[in-house]
Chain A
Amino acid sequence: MREALTAAIADIREEDALELTQQMLDAGEDPREILEACREGMALVGARYEEKDYFLPELIVAGDVLKAIAEIVKPLLQGDGEGADTLATIVIGTVEGDIHDVGKDIVAFMLDSNNFEVIDLGVDVPASKFIEEIETRQPEIVAMSGFLTLAFDQMKNTVAAIDEAGLRDRVKIMIGGAPMDDTVTKYIGADAYGTDASAAVTLAKSWVGGS
C-alpha cells in the first residue's frame, strides 16, 4: 500500500492519496510509513517538475495533498521526536508588505520534500515574527520571499533586525521571489539568492552538507 500511496502522490491523484492514507491507518500501519511514502512521492513530484512534465498546478495540488495527509497523520506522531532524520530546520516567509504566496509555497514544498523541516510563517510576515521564530525554533536557515522589488527594502530591514537581535550568525539567510542578483543579495545582507525552488534546495543542501 505504501508504494500505491507514493504513486498516488506522485501522480497527483488527490482522492486516491487520502483514501490510501486512511486505509493504511485502518490496517494499523506505522504512520511513519505514510510520511515516508509522502517523502518519496514528493521527491518524484519534484523530479517531474524539474523535467518540466509538471507545472504549477501539480505542485500546488501536491502541496495541498501533503497538508491534508499531514493533518491526519501528525496527531498520531506526537512525542515522536519529529525531524529526527531531517537535514535541517528552515523558517520561511514572505516579508511584510508583500502578500504573494504561490512561489513561497512551492519553495516550502520543495524543501519539505527534500527532507528539511520547514516552518512556514505565511505572508506579510513582520521582522519581529522572524526573530521570534529563530529564537524558539532554532533553525539553521531562514528563507525570505518577496515577489515585489519593493520588498527588497523590507528584506533588508528584516536582516538588519535579525542582526540587531544578535541572531545573524546563528542562521544562513536565503532570499528569492523577484528577479535578484548578487548586488541585491549584498544590499539586503542575505547570504545567497535563488531563482527558483530547486535553487533553494541546492543552496540549503550546500549549507548543511546534505546531498
Chain B
Amino acid sequence: MSCAQAAVREPAADPLLTLRARPRRIALVGNANVGKSVLFGRLTGQYAVVSNYPGTTVALTTGRVVLGGEVCELVDTPGVTALEGALTEDELVARRILNAGQTDVVIQVSDARNLRRALMLTSQLAAIGRPMVLVLNMIDEARVHGIVIDAAGLAARLGIPVVETVATEGRGIAGLRDAIGRAAVPAFDAPHRGDHAHLAHDLAVQYRCYRRRSAARIQERLGRLVREPLTGLPILAIVLYGMYLAVGVFGAQTLVGLIEGGLFEQFINPGAIALVNRAVPWAVARDFLVGEYGLITMGLTYAIAIVLPVVATFFLVFGFLEDSGYIPRLAIFSDRIFRTMGLNGKAVLPMVLGLGCDTMATMTTRILGTPKERLIAVLLLALGIPCSAQLATILGILGGVSFFALVTLFGVVMLQMFLVGFLAARTIPGERSEFIMELPPLRLPQLGNIVRKTLLRVRWYLGEAVPLFLFGTALLFTLSRLGLLTVLTEAMEPVVAGLLGLPKDAATVFVMGFLRRDYGAAGLFQMSKAGELDGVQAVVALTVMTLFVPCVANFLMMVKEQGLKAAMGILGAVTVIALGTGVVLNAILRGLHVTF
C-alpha cells in the first residue's frame, strides 16, 4: 500500500452534522448483467426493470437512499465491459458520470463467478480515484460452481470494503449499507503501464480457490440443448408456437373475446350510450363521446378491450423469456444472417425487444458497437418489427382468416427486412463491429419479478398509448365533422382502393396508423369483424400497416437517437417501402387468385 494514496482516504462521513450543497451521489457501476438494477431496487425501494441479459439499463436511473440518517442519491448505470479503450455508447454514459467529478462514492457490483473480470474493472476504477466498495454479487451461484473467494483478504489488499451479496434475495444488503459509510479510495499500486489484465489475473489467483462443484449440471445440459442447432432450432420453434398459443390464441382471441365481446359490447358501451343520451343534451357532444368516432365507443374500446389484453399476455410471456436468459442465445443462430445485413448477432436483442415495444428497443440499439449498426437497427425496427400491441391485432385478425395468411404476412415482412438490411449494409457508410457476446446463465425466472415487470409495462402502456388513442379518436371525429375525412378518403382512394385493392374506408385506418400502428390495426380489426375485408385485403392492409413506422413515440425516439435528418429519412423510406410492398403484394396475390 502506498502512503500517498492512503493519506487521501476520506474519513467516514458523520451522518448528523453534514450539510451539503447537493446530496451525496453514489453510483452503481459494473459489468453487464451482474445485478446492478436489482441492488438499486433493494437499496432505494424503487423498481428498475430487471432482466437476465446485458443491456436492460441503457440510461441512468436515479433514486434516493437513506444511509446513516443522510439522504443520498443513488445512480444505476448501464453495464460496462471496460472504461478504457474503445467504448460503446452506453459505456460512455457510465464513464461520463464517473469522470464528471459528480460522484462521491462508487459501488462496483460484480458477478462473484467472474472475479478476474471484475478486478480488471476495479483496477480501472481505482485510476479514477473515488472512494469505492466492491460487491461480490450472486455469491450463491458462485458457491454452486465451487468458487470460494477470500473477501477479507481481498479487502485488505485493495484497501476498500468487499461485500458478498445475493441481491435477488436481499442477502448481504445490510452489510452493503454499512460498507458504503466505510468506502475508501483503493490503495494498491497501479498496474505497470495500465496492464489491468495482468494485475487482475494475479489477484484472482491469489484470493480465489475452487472447491468441488456441487450442482449446476442441469444448467449446463439445458444450455447445450438450446445452443446446438439440432436441438436448439426445434426448441425455438416450440417457444414461438408457445408464444402464439399464449398471446395469439389465449390473449388475442379468448381474452379479447371476453373483454371486448362480453364486457364492452354487452355492458360498458350500451351503458355509456344510454347514460350519455340521457345526460348530454347536445348531439355533437353525444357523438363525440359515443358516436362512430366516440372517445368511449372507439378510443377506449380499442385501447382497453382490443389491445390491452394482448399486450398484457405478451409482456407476461416475454418477461419469462427475458429472465430465463434464453433470448441472447438466439444471437448464435442469427449472427450469420445479421452479418449480411451489416449487423451482428447482438442485434437480436433490440429486434426481439422490439416485439415488446419498438420505442424502448430503439433506445436499446445503444448496446450495438458502431453508428452504422445503430442506424440500421433503428431502421429495421421502424420497418419490420411489430410491437406487442400490433402483434395483438395481427393475430386477432389473421388468426380468424388462416394460418397461411399469417405465414404470408410474416414471410413478406421478414423478406423486406432482409432486403432493406442487405441494401443498407452496402449503402450506409461505416463498419460493423465483430460479434463478441457474453451469454448470461440460464435461470429459472422468479415469478415476482415477472409480475412486477409486467405491471410496470402495462401501466406504461396505459399512460403512453391510451392518451394517443383518445387523441387520435378526437382527431378523426373532428376531421369527420368538418367533412375532411371524406376529402381525405377520396384523395387516397386511387392508392387505397386502386393499387392496394382495399375498401376505400380503409384510408381512415391508415390515418390512424400514422399515429400508432396498433391503433390503425385495431381499426382493421373492427372492419374485418364487420366482414368488410376479405382474406387478401386483410393480409395486404396488415402488411402495409406492419411496415409503417410504429408510432409517434417511436418517431420521437428515432429523432432523439439518430437526429431529425436521419429520422425523417427513415420515415420517408419506410412509408414508401410499406406502400410499395402492399401494391406489389396485392398484384401478386390477385394475379395468382389466392383466397386464403
Decide whether A and B are members of one complex.
Answer: no
Q: Which A residues form the contact surface with B (CB < 8 A)?
A: none
Q: Which B residues form the contact surface with A (CB < 8 A)?
A: none
